[in-house]
Each structure stands twice: as structure tokens, then as C-alpha cells.
Amino acid sequence: MVFKKGRIPWNKGKKTGIKPWLGKKRSEKTKKKIKEANKGKHFSLNTEFKKGKKPYCHWTGKKMSEKTRKKMSKAHKGSKGPGWKGGISKKNHLIRDSVEARIWREKIFKRDNYTCQKCGRKGGDLEAHHIKSFADYPELRFVVDNGITYCIPCHKIVDKYRG
């Protein structure tokens, strides 16, 4: 930094950066307080869904079962949810973004070994395709046998609505 003569920056001599607490001496009492405050918390930067593994709760690190995920989803639906705006969402949007839809999609990918069933491409940007239409066959929406894995380019070719 370039400063005018006689001007002292506000942080001169102070430790700055991502971890300014490193290297500081702490009393046993302070260490104990920090330990108690962080008890039961899990600090992890990797909160992304890992291929082939169950989703996990990012603050505890525990794997969540399908039953738990559905229970949590139900507990936050409708007026109990933090983003509730008086029921303005369309029914189609609610169904496609539901936990059941995500679980269906994960099961399709796992069954097809994360491979496009048209071109054989493994991994990448995959989409789960309904063999029998989502709109025309509501009873088959979340049936695993009614799904197939495609990569995005192949899905555009196969899907008559995308062109």
C-alpha cells in the first residue's frame, strides 16, 4: 500500500488474514470455554453430495437415512418452512423440488451406475429422464423403473419437449 507521508494504516503491526488467532497463547480456562462452545459441532468445508454415498448433515457429519430426510422435509413444508410466502408456489414446482423427487433421481443414477444410457458417458452432468411422461402418468412419477439416466446432450435429443 502507498500512503501519504505521516499517515499510519489502522492495521499496522496487527496480525491479519484468515487465521489471526494462530500462535496466540490461551489460558486453560479460555481453552475450556472454546471446547464447550464447539461441543457437538462438526466443522467441514466439504458439504457437497458425494457420488454413491448417503447425503449427510453438514453440521454433525452424520449420514441421514431416507426416512430421516423425508421426516425433515415434512417438518419444513408449508407454513412451517422458513421461505413460506402464503402458498404462492405452483403444484408442479412443489412436486419436482420435493425430497421424493431427489431420492428418485439418486436411485436412478445409482442403478445406472452414473452412466448415460444412450452414449455411455460416465459421470458429468447427468439428468434423470421419465420414460413415461411426468405429466401424463402421475402414478409413475417416483417409480424407479420409469426412469433412465441421460447426459444433457443425449437428453435434449431424446426429450421431445426440449427440441
- Return the domain boundaries, the chain: 52-65+90-163
In whole angstroms, give the CA distance from residue 121 to residue 135. Answer: 28
pLDDT band at 56 (very low <50, low <70, confident <90, very high): low
pLDDT confidence of residue 87: 73
CB atoms < 10 A from the CB of 150, how many? 22
**Mean pLDDT across the chain:** 79
pLDDT confidence of residue 114: 94
Sign of CA dihedral 147, 152, 156, 162: positive
Q: Name which of 95, 117, 115 is nearest 104 in CA terms.
A: 95
pLDDT confidence of residue 50: 45
pLDDT confidence of residue 85: 77
Query: For the segment 33-52, what is each residue's pLDDT rounded down to a tens digit?
Result: 888 887 766 554 444 444 45
How much of the chain exceeds pLDDT 70, in percent? Answer: 72
pLDDT confidence of residue 145: 94
- Higher pLDDT residue, 93 or 29? 29
pLDDT confidence of residue 144: 94
Average pLDDT over residues 107-118: 94
In whole angstroms, give the CA distance from residue 59 to residue 81. Answer: 19
